[in-house]
Structure 1
Amino acid sequence: MSLGTIDRTPPPFFRQGPSALTKLSVCSALAVFLMVADTRFNITQPLRTVVATVLHPVERSLRVPVDLWNGASDYLMGLQHALSNESAARADLARQAERAARVEQLLDENKRLRALLELRPALSVRSQPAEVLYDAPDPFSRKVILDRGATQGVALSSPVINEAGVLGQVTRVYPLSSEVTLLTDKDAAIPVLNPRTQARSAAFGSAAGEALELRFMAGNADVQVGDTLYTSGVDGVYPPGLVVARVTAVDRKVDTGFARIALAPAAPAGGVRQVLVLEPVGLQLPPKPEPVAEAPKRTPAKKGARK
């Protein structure tokens, strides 16, 4: 055997290459280098663009079943929601039709009763819109200033309301503005009517300026929590039938003969901007007839008096 044919390479067991730590260090350094180079020079951006362009049709084709499933689910849910809304709208329309029929019936009945009793129709109160400018500078009162005054025809004691109910009453009138005392003011008072019992009373503002109270009510008065009070119209200022407040608490004290009744105003003054100023009812009533002066009685002549 010639010496040239002898394999002089070491067996695999004796081969030695770079260690695992060296390989890890080299790969980590290469990864860090590639990340830094990609961040600074965007060397892999063209490769990403090519891969994204090639895979885009594949992604679209894979999303087709998911989109079909989501679209079918949305269509079925929307159809069910539309059917339920249609059913609710039909039921609401039927209720409104029934209510309209009852209203028409009540109007006809009211018209017949008024014709039978020959009652005078209710007063048509004139009104005008106004806007709240700001609160009054007095911190111990509950008053606001409106942008309507005597120039626009606002009269003293005019009621002020909004869509929720009565807000207060005009207590001062200026040429271009007016001052409104709210119902929650400590000096405010308004006659009210409880339609459940037809009992009349007066609601007064509280010292806290946030609520109302019924005063001088007997301890056994028929007043319940939840009763809604309306204007009675007996003062010649407020037209009857306007919402004033709702009973929130009834404290029947044993030691006194009166009950303490707390009310929540139907129209809170906070955040109110647009209001309606009504003309006082007293300005539309016919004037009171003046008393007729009686003629002086003639004294009878005494008997025996000389002519």
Structure 2
Amino acid sequence: MPLGTLERSAPSFFRQGPSPLSRLILYSALALFLMVADARFGMTEPLRKAVSTALYPLQWAVLQPVQFAGRGAGYFQSLEAAEQSRDEAQRKMAQLSQRVNQAEDLEQENARLRKLLELRERLTTPAQAAQVIYDTADPYTRRVMIDRGQTAGVELGSPVLDESGVLGQVTRVHPFLSEVTLLIDRDQAIPVMNIRTGARSVAYGDPIAAHGGGIELRFMPGNADVQEGDLLTTSGVDGLYPSGMPVARVIGVERRADSAFARIYCAPLAQMQGARHVMVLKPLTAELPPKPAPAEAAVKRKGRR
């Protein structure tokens, strides 16, 4: 029999040393003693410090990938949070800007409405408020639609004003809407009076004026006493517009030697573009006495003879 196959350990009958149960009890008691001693007296504290110092480089090397990954994730999260904060700030700034614009529009609208109310208190002619809905689709005319019609008592030829002056005249009436022809329309004319001189004339619409639409005094003599800055108001001779309503201001006078008439350009005082709230007046023809019948007129003529 080869020597390598022989059992070198002693038989179990002759084994020496404590039994496994004894060793378990001994080790358990030793562990319990060390725990109590460490908890009460700190006997293993120096050993723990030494082991911790010896293992610190290994711990640091092992933790570096984890910390690097954490810092990278934190960086990208911070970048994403910063971008979200920036987008949120931009959105809030846009909302605040929109609110500021709305507040400015409301402030201007309130100021115009207060001026309209003050103008209505000064008027002796019946008037009602209206709102401009939209401009007409015809590009060759200067007309707008308002939200008052026959059901509201609007009549054909009614003057229309805003807070600054005469805007135009009602030229078409529908049951719930009315069409207003602005003063700058080429087919519109209005009798005016120069406040400084008292001279009366007629102003015609000039939609292709250099300043985007105005009115012009036509058939005025070349030596007429008209100056830049003169205020023009309604004269009231047409039986439609009340007298004394602001219409326009003279901005240019051209006197040419080859013409007997002067060209006088005026800028309307009313807001021809972008008007929202207006005042619709009753035509003065409604307040005039009715015309006499033909028979009565003939009798009066005979009586005068």
> Under TM normalisation by the shorter chain, which class is it?
0.5 to 0.7
Change (3 A) 1:270 1:41: closer
CA offset digits 1:9-51 (Å, max 9, x no partner): xxxxxxxxxxxxxxxxxxxxxxx99995773487xxxxxxxxx
Offset at residue 178 of structure 1 (A):
0.8
Change (3 A) 1:241 1:295: closer
Report which of the two structures shows the higher radius of gyration computed on alpha carbons: 2
Matched, 1:189 2:189: yes
2:259 and 2:301 map into 1 onto residues whose CA distance is 53
Report the equivalent of 1:127: 127
Change (3 A) 1:237 1:294: closer
Offset at residue 129 of structure 1 (A):
0.7
User: Which residue, 276, 287, 297 being the options, matches 1:291?
Assistant: 297
CA offset digits 1:267-303 (Å, max 9, x no partner): 122111111100001111222344143799xxxxxxx
CA offset digits 1:66-99 (Å, max 9, x no partner): xxxxxxxxxxxxxxxxxxxxxxxxxxxxxxxxxx
Matched, 1:264 2:267: yes
User: Which residue, 249, 253, 257 being the options, matches 1:254?
Assistant: 257
Change (3 A) 1:146 1:291: same
Higher helix share: 2
Q: Does the CA contact (< 8 Å) of 2:162 and 2:271 recur in 1?
A: no
CA offset digits 1:219-238 (Å, max 9, x no partner): 11111111110001111000
Give the aligned residue type for 2:299: A
1:162 and 1:218 map into 2 onto residues whose CA distance is 31
1:133 and 1:219 map into 2 onto residues whose CA distance is 42
2:232 and 2:134 map into 1 onto residues whose CA distance is 28
1:133 and 1:123 map into 2 onto residues whose CA distance is 25
CA offset digits 1:111-138 (Å, max 9, x no partner): xxxxxxxxxxx98200011111111121
Q: Secondary structure at the match of 1:144?
A: strand
Q: Does the CA contact (< 8 Å) of 2:129 and 2:279 recur in 1?
A: yes
Q: Does the CA contact (< 8 Å) of 2:189 and 2:205 recur in 1?
A: yes
In angstroms, what is the RMSD of aligned CA positions?
2.6
Q: Secondary structure at the match of 2:285?
A: helix
The percent identity for this pair of structures is 55
Give the aligned residue type for 2:200: R
User: Which residue, 51, 65, 71 being the options, matches 1:39?
Assistant: 71
Change (3 A) 1:251 1:150: same
Report the equivalent of 2:240: 237
Q: Secondary structure at the match of 1:293?
A: helix
Give the aligned residue type for 1:135: D
1:126 and 1:206 map into 2 onto residues whose CA distance is 30
The normalised TM-score by structure 1 is 0.56
Q: Secondary structure at the match of 2:151?
A: helix
Poorly superposed stretches of 4+, deviation over 3 Å: 32-38
1:167 and 1:284 map into 2 onto residues whose CA distance is 22
Residue ranges of structure 2 left out of the alignment (5+ in a row):
1-63, 75-121
Equivalent residues in 2 for 1:1-307 (5 A)?
A: 36=68, 39-40=71-72, 124-208=124-208, 210-289=213-292, 290-293=296-299
Report the equivalent of 2:113: none
1:278 and 1:130 map into 2 onto residues whose CA distance is 10
Give the aligned residue type for 1:203: A
Count of residue pairs the alignment pairs up: 187
2:300 and 2:130 map into 1 onto residues whose CA distance is 49
1:184 and 1:169 map into 2 onto residues whose CA distance is 11
Give the aligned residue type for 2:263: R
Change (3 A) 1:207 1:33: same
Change (3 A) 1:274 1:41: closer
